[in-house]
């Protein structure tokens, strides 16, 4: 059992690091060299089809609205994100992706879809459900740990 735990830990650490390296390299080798990984994940959190408030996006990224505002300002300058004022209430500002932002979103989404497809390759439905359960457990652990850290800080 200890060997299995060590193997799982090794895979998790390597997978996490490899995803970051691949995403960074893909950005560097694309027409989106001006975007950082954090900015790309901000674009992902804004999403393709819904306009979101800064509060919604900040919550999704687990960052403060102030931190998000800095990132959004940069993404607006670079032409990936636009601020859209509500017709009904001019105080309400929503975030949306520009054409260039949607292109970046699609590129990133394609990588994630390919990654998931390769991950479940050769698995039957029961094995996929077991993987989903394990990833759900991992997500729950990370969520609890993040909440504890927020409470401490």
Q: Is residue 126 part of a domain?
A: no
CB atoms within 10 A of CB 43: 27
Contact at 8 Å (CB) between 72 and 81? yes
Q: Is residue 21 part of a domain?
A: yes
pTM reported for the whole predicted model? 0.84
3-state secondary structure of 53: strand
Q: Is residue 23 part of a domain?
A: yes
Q: Is residue 137 part of a domain?
A: no
- The sign one gets for the Cα dihedral 19, 20, 23, 25 is negative
Give the residue numbers spanning the domain of 47. 2-121
Half-sphere exposure of 65 (CA within 13 A, CB side): 8
Q: Is residue 151 part of a domain?
A: no
Half-sphere exposure of 88 (CA within 13 A, CB side): 1
Neighbour-count burial for 98-117, b at 16+ CB within 10 Å, e otherwise? bebbbbbbeebeeeeeeeee
Q: Is residue 142 part of a domain?
A: no
How confident is the prediction along the chain (153 residues), in pLDDT tens digits per residue? 779 999 999 999 999 999 999 999 988 898 999 999 999 999 999 999 889 999 999 999 989 999 999 999 999 999 999 999 888 887 888 999 999 999 999 999 999 999 999 999 999 999 999 999 999 999 999 989 988 888 886
Q: Is residue 152 part of a domain?
A: no
Q: Is residue 11 part of a domain?
A: yes
CATH number of the domain to which 99 belongs = 1.10.10.10
Q: Could you give phi then psi for residue 34, rounded to 5 degrees?
A: -85, 5
What is the number of domains present in the chain? 1
Separation of alpha carbons 42 and 60, rounded Å: 9
């Amino acid at each position: 059992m200890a060997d299995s735990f060590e193997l799982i830990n090794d895979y998790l650490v390597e997978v996490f690091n490899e995803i970051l390296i691949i995403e960074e390299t893909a950005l560097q080798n694309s027409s989106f060299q001006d975007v950082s990984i954090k900015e790309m994940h901000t674009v992902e959190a804004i999403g393709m089809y819904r306009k979101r408030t800064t509060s919604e996006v900040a919550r999704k990224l687990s960052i403060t609205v102030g931190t998000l505002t800095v990132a959004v300002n940069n993404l607006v300058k670079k032409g990936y994100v636009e601020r859209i004022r509500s017709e009904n209430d001019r105080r309400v500002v929503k975030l949306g992706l520009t054409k260039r932002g949607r292109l970046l979103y699609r590129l990133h989404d394609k990588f994630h879809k390919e990654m998931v497809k390769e991950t479940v390759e050769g698995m039957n439905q029961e094995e996929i459900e077991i993987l989903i359960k394990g990833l759900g457990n991992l997500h729950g652990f990370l969520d609890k740990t993040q909440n504890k850290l927020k409470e401490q800080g």
